[in-house]
Chain A
């Protein structure tokens, strides 16, 4: 079974803090993705990576950065958290190719106070 794990299910941070969200997959997938999900807006792509040390901006990269030093691990970084970054964050991974399913982690619900 494919497994995508995220470091925290719930996280509460204060405005201005640096926040790290970690994602690990165990299926040797090339692609990894970070999304945020907000009521009424659906899933929106923040960043994705198709190889180690490679990254590309998604639709809403502002205020975020990412790191992929190892194939199985993809980190999302909020350099200075703001209240409008309160959201559900979902990580996903997949093999290369348009027919391959993206497998999602359980999500991290981040609240920024």
Chain B
């Protein structure tokens, strides 16, 4: 069964600190993996996309990694800001069909001053 598991479910971090979110997937056949950020009351917005051959990709203070062999990805947030408080959703795309996706349940991050 195609699944995307994320951990931790939620975490609280102090402003300025770093944190790492984890994603394990069993989606097959794999095409690519995106991390989306969803602010409260809004739709998700893509942060990064990684294909099979990519190991690391950065977008500002966000750095995503992918290990396609172990089917694991992580999202590292550096020097967290209050605006980083959001849900981060790991999304894996199948390599067939019209852009069908498998979604994780999200990591809820709360940054406190």
A positions within 8 Å CB-CB of B = 4, 30-31, 40-45, 48, 50, 56, 90, 92, 94, 96-102, 104-107
On chain B, the residues within 8 Å of A96 by CB distance are 98-99
Between A and B, 13 residue pairs with Cβ closer than 8 Å are A4-B43, A42-B103, A42-B104, A43-B44, A43-B103, A44-B103, A97-B99, A98-B95, A98-B97, A99-B49, A104-B45, A105-B43, A106-B41
Q: Known interface pairs A41-B105, A50-B98, A94-B99. Does A101 touch B43 (Cβ–Cβ under 8 Å)? A: no
- Of all chain A residues, the one with the shortest Cβ separation from B101 is A102
Say whether B99 contacts A43, CB under 8 Å: no
Q: How far is the CA of A26 from the CA of B43 in the complex (A)?
A: 16
Distance in Å: Cβ of B54 to nearest Cβ of chain A: 12
Distance in Å: Cβ of B88 to nearest Cβ of chain A: 12
Say whether B42 contacts A107, CB under 8 Å: yes
On chain A, the residues within 8 Å of B58 by CB distance are none
On chain B, the residues within 8 Å of A106 by CB distance are 41-43
Give residues of chain B (41-94) contacting chain A, Cβ–Cβ below 8 Å.
41-46, 49, 51, 89, 93-94
On chain A, the residues within 8 Å of B100 by CB distance are 45, 48
Name the contact of A99 in the complex, choosing from B32, B43, B101, B106 (C-beta under 8 A).
B32
Q: Known interface pairs A99-B31, A107-B41. Does A40 touch B98 (Cβ–Cβ under 8 Å)? A: no
Name the contact of B44 in the complex, choosing from A44, A45, A98, A104 (C-beta under 8 A).
A104
On chain A, the residues within 8 Å of B97 by CB distance are 98
Say whether A104 contacts B99, CB under 8 Å: no
Which 9 pairs show the lowest CB-CB distances between chains A and B? A104-B43, A42-B105, A98-B31, A50-B98, A43-B103, A42-B103, A101-B46, A98-B93, A94-B99
